[in-house]
Chain A
């Protein structure tokens, strides 16, 4: 039998703390901590408290989400609770006390990875959607953002920016990175419609200080940005 080679030497895990860590509320690193991180990413990118959190679980997530606390973890993440936050077990009650409507759905649809979740957030006219996969040990990847497929090559740090599709947006973001001497390894820009929302996915060589992210978030062309794979 031919041995199937994995990837092309890509290193999905880059830190010892991906292996010895994270510190987290149990019971599952992929189904609890990873789910919390997917929720956190969605919450951060949405930027406001949602009125509705709609989560669709696929694969192993769909089969076992209740036993693993995937539901409370993902909702906790959206509320801003990190993997080690003691409030995670109570997150659904906390969300409900804030008047947030929560819907869980399971799907039989086949996905590339067994631990896949789609998080849809609504507040007023605003909606936001993210698809995340939990690849093991609490490490996650985001594969889709507002229906933009995200193609990040590996576990290295990346900056994801939702911005207005107009001239100067890309230059403004890359200028900030250049000012802080941060090198771009790979970059992709996508949009659905001219002049509406667009997405920049920028892989950078090094970890980026918090204040750089804040500076990018202050740019008028930028709706919101987050770091992935810190």
Chain B
């Protein structure tokens, strides 16, 4: 099994294939599966992602009412042609938001790499799809490439907000998406690694401070910005810009920052936005008085 991005890129170059192919081959060998079985499993995940985005565009609302409806708002704005930051970017952002709105409403999603960060990878995929017109095979490969980078992060750092903060969740997802966009756009494995590094560097230090402990505020909007960040990082790498700090070292830095992060900022709803006056007010409105034990 590849343990680092350096090893992953090395394997891809040695065999003259994309990152996605290395991930597919490893999955086949580790789990004794045939190629079509691995593809079928990923196809099921892709369909869940498509369904979630479709559902979000009909408008969803979470049980608490804290999130929902923003994907629709942004799609309407995009259709008006008034958008400043670019059509593809706004499409990605709205689909990232939509996926997380469905997640917050306890709908069905595919974790990428987690549920709280489930919007970035599919959001960018479905937006870039409109521009690059990929085959179904390329769309599945997008997910394998994203998965390959996430695999390295999960084994060397963390993909858990409780362990490493939001940088470990939306940060990882953003890097994964950036790397996958590069491969779909015809970039090299090295460029994927640079895109990942550039994206994650700009997510370092991001804390996990969900209001009332819910995967809603600020998670949904952090997925939006993750999608935007991923697209810009991919464009930068495709333009030939490189990260001065190697990808594996950026991942190491993310782990170290997570270790130094106080527990109040790691998914405990004790600090940051969760501890703002409005955050606390929303919490008491949603849950009323906190009690330590609940017997039902």
Contacts and interface: CB of A to CB of B under 8 A. Distances in A.
Contacts of B269: 63-64, 67
B159 A137 contact: yes
A21 B88 CA distance: 25
A11 interface: yes
B106 A26 contact: yes
Interface stretch (A27-35, A43-51, A167-175, A211-219): A27-35
Contacts, number: 203
Q: Determine the interface band of chain B, counting residues with CB < 8 A from chain A.
A: 35 or more
A64 B154 contact: no
Contacts of B108: 23-26, 84, 86
A45 to B, nearest CB: 23
Nearest to A85: B108
A206 to B, nearest CB: 6
B42 A13 contact: no
B213 A63 contact: yes
B31 A29 contact: no
B150 interface: yes
A28 B111 CA distance: 9
Q: Which of B176, B268, B270 has the most CB of A within 10 A?
A: B268
Contacts of B106: 25-27, 69, 88-89
Contact of A21 (B38, B45, B159): B45
Contacts of A23: 44-45, 48, 108-111
B113 A11 contact: no
Given A16-B27, A26-B106, A6 B214 contact: no
A86 B108 CA distance: 8
B231 interface: no
A115 interface: yes
A68 B268 contact: no
A74 to B, nearest CB: 13
B236 interface: no
Contacts of A102: 295-296
A191 B147 CA distance: 40
B66 to A, nearest CB: 10
Interface stretch (A103-111, A142-150, A220-228): A103-111
Q: Determine the interface band of chain A, counting residues with CB < 8 A from chain B.
A: 35 or more
B214 A29 contact: no
Nearest to A11: B155
A18 B146 CA distance: 12
B210 interface: yes
Interface in B181-217: 210, 212-216
Given A14-B30, A103-B295, A114-B163, A60 B158 contact: no
A27 B215 contact: yes
A67 B213 CA distance: 5
A25 B107 contact: yes
Given A11-B1, A13-B151, A13-B154, A21 B255 contact: no
A18 B295 CA distance: 34
B95 interface: no
Interface in A114-158: 114-115, 134-139
A26 B215 contact: yes
Given A16-B23, A68-B215, A26 B115 contact: yes
B256 interface: yes
A97 to B, nearest CB: 12
Interface string A65-96: 11111000000000000001010110010001
Interface of B: 1, 3, 23, 26-27, 30-32, 38, 41-42, 44-45, 48, 102-116, 118, 121, 143-144, 146-148, 150-151, 154-163, 168, 176, 210, 212-216, 252, 255-256, 259, 263, 266-270, 286-287, 292-296
10 contacts: A9-B3, A17-B41, A20-B113, A24-B111, A26-B107, A27-B215, A66-B287, A67-B213, A102-B296, A137-B113
The 10 closest A-B pairs by CB, nearest first: A64-B213, A136-B160, A26-B103, A67-B213, A19-B150, A27-B215, A16-B147, A67-B214, A29-B114, A29-B115
Given A12-B155, A23-B45, A64-B210, 14 more contacts: A4-B256, A18-B154, A19-B154, A20-B42, A20-B121, A27-B215, A29-B111, A29-B115, A29-B116, A30-B160, A67-B286, A104-B294, A136-B114, A137-B159
Interface of A: 3-4, 6, 9, 11-33, 59-60, 63-69, 84, 86, 88-89, 92, 96, 102-106, 113-115, 134-139, 206-207
